[in-house]
């Protein structure tokens, strides 16, 4: 994954890619999403990935901010957070994330841990639940979800909590951001990562590195390992 990240960073720095995200070698993109939070996300799959695995790279006003890797069940496998410079990889799984369970039973609980050389072990406990609402955004049909997540450190101390609403695409088998609140012992902030435009290969704006919506708005946010999800989870 680190080699993939380096390829992404080099690609963004080349003149030929001044206005377009250059995918790492051996990877093929299939979707770009412009979000309301002054960010644009690119979804792609790589030759070395197993069936159902996919990756997401998100770019904001300051450049590449996040690269995530998810599995067949949309479970969080690995993530790299550009601002803090830390990487997390899933390790212990007590209750696996399951897109299939969510779609079949309208709720999915999960309990897993990640390991990071930079920040140590983090345990994530929570759930996703379908609300029963179907939403169409830019011609794409999505299912609305609500979620709750609590992050604990290696000693079992609660570090932060997140809750809000997201979207699920059964066709792409992935979570897409929405309205979220992040709560620590000393503060709270909200984010709006609702998708606005879905751009397919060959369409104008596909693989653009320029966010279009919500830019120039001053926001306060922590560099948390977000559930998007986004991962996030997605």
Domain map of the chain by residue range?
2-229
Provide the pLDDT for residue 187. 87
Average pLDDT in the chain: 87
| Contact predicate 225/90, CB 8 Å | no
Mean pLDDT of 150-169: 95
From 99-108, 197-206, 207-216, the region with the lowest mean pLDDT: 207-216
| Contact predicate 169/27, CB 8 Å | no
pLDDT single digits (tens) 73-98:
999 999 998 888 889 999 999 999 99
With pLDDT > 70 as the criterion, what percentage of the chain qualifies?
85
Provide the pLDDT for residue 7. 53
> What is the C-alpha separation between 9 and 210, in angstroms, rounded?
15
| Contact predicate 179/195, CB 8 Å | no
Is residue 103 pLDDT above 80, yes or no? yes
pLDDT single digits (tens) 173-205:
999 999 999 998 888 889 999 999 999 999 999
Three-class HEC string of the chain: CHHHHHHHHHHHHCHHHCCECCCCCCEEEEEEEEECCCEEEEEEEECCCCCCCEEEEEEECCEEEEEEEECCCCCEEEEEECCCCEEEEEEEEEECCCHHHHHHHCEEEEEEEEEECCCEEEEEEEEEEEEEEEEEECCEEEEEEEEEEEEECCCCCEEEEEEEEEEEECCCCEEEEEEEEEECCCCEEEEECCEEEEECCCCCCCCECCCCCCCCCCCCCCCCCCCCEEEEEC
Mean pLDDT of 100-109: 98
Provide the pLDDT for residue 118. 86
Mean pLDDT of 29-42: 96
For domain 2-229, give the CATH number.
2.40.360
| Contact predicate 137/190, CB 8 Å | no
pTM here is 0.86
Mean pLDDT of 49-74: 92
């Amino acid at each position: 994954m680190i080699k993939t990240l380096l390829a992404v960073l080099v690609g963004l720095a080349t003149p030929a890619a001044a206005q377009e995200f250059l995918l790492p070698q051996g990877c093929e993109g299939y979707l770009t999403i412009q979000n309301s939070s002054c960010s644009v996300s690119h979804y792609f799959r790589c030759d070395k990935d197993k069936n159902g695995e996919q990756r997401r790279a998100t770019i904001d006003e300051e450049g590449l901010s996040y690269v995530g890797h998810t599995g067949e069940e949309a479970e969080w496998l690995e993530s790299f957070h550009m601002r803090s410079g830390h990487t997390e990889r899933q390790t212990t799984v007590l209750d696996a994330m399951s897109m299939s369970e969510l779609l079949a039973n309208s709720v999915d609980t999960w309990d897993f841990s990640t390991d990071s050389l930079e920040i140590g072990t983090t345990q994530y406990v929570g759930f996703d639940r379908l609300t029963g609402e179907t939403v169409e955004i830019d011609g794409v049909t999505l299912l609305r979800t609500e979620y709750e997540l609590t992050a604990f450190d290696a000693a079992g101390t609660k570090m932060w909590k997140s809750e809000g609403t997201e979207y699920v695409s059964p066709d792409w088998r992935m979570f897409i951001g929405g309205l979220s609140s992040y709560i620590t012992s000393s503060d709270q902030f909200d984010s709006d990562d609702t998708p606005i435009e879905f751009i397919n290969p060959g369409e104008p704006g596909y693989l653009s590195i320029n966010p279009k919506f919500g830019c120039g708005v001053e926001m306060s946010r922590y560099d948390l390992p977000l559930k998007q999800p986004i991962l996030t989870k997605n």
